[in-house]
Amino acid sequence: MKEITKKAVIKVKQELDNYREKQISKTAKEVYDHTTRHMFVEATAHYSTDLIRKSEEIAKLVLVEEANTIDCAEAVMKVARNVGCLGSITLEVFYNAIWDYYKIDHKRIKEIEKNELLKKQQVRKKREQKRKKSTMKKDTIQPNNNNDLQLSLF
């Protein structure tokens, strides 16, 4: 094996070991709730190492700092959900999803995600402000006047 291939395989194995260590500290219910994610992380690590051994090009892509196995597994899960075969995804689709994940520009994607999050927060703030304004208008249109409430004794 070439040195680049060895480094990439070691990186994937280290990320998988770190993920497993984090799972040990979780409760049984948390682990059970994320069973699908665990299976996809394990499968992604396995198939990533297969691809790394077959192609030096993907080994170089795996060694990029921003790319990691856990995020790759999440991307594969999204593809599987979109295809509609979360339980029985074909190996070809799995390999293609791994390739697609490692080919993207991770820095640019993280910036885009950050911008989308900021936009969502701004929209949420605007909605809250509109809601506050509308409740304030209702209060000003119909003031609570105690003089209108008269009691008749007869």
Average pLDDT, the chain: 81
- Rounded-to-integer distance, Cα 98 and Cα 141, Å: 59
Return the DSSP state at 55. -
Task: Give first-to-last CA distance, the chain, whole Å.
Answer: 103
pLDDT of residue 13: 92
pLDDT of residue 124: 92
pLDDT of residue 86: 64
∠ Cα 43 65 75 (to 5°):
35
pLDDT band at 116 (very low <50, low <70, confident <90, very high): confident
Q: Is 140 exposed, middle or buried (0-12, 13-18, 19+ CB in 10 A)?
A: exposed
List of residues 6+ apart from 9 with CB closer than 8 A: 1, 49, 52, 53, 59
Residues 58-69 have pLDDT tens digits of 888 888 777 888
Residues 4-27 have pLDDT tens digits of 889 989 999 999 999 999 988 888
Mean pLDDT confidence for 79-92:
77
Stretch among 44-48, 80-84, 91-95, 145-149 having the lowest mean pLDDT: 145-149
pLDDT band at 109 (very low <50, low <70, confident <90, very high): low
Please name the residue that has the structure tokens 């506050």: 132
Whether the pLDDT of residue 89 is over 60: the answer is: yes
Q: Count of residues for the chain?
A: 154
Other Cβ atoms closer than 10 A to 66: 12
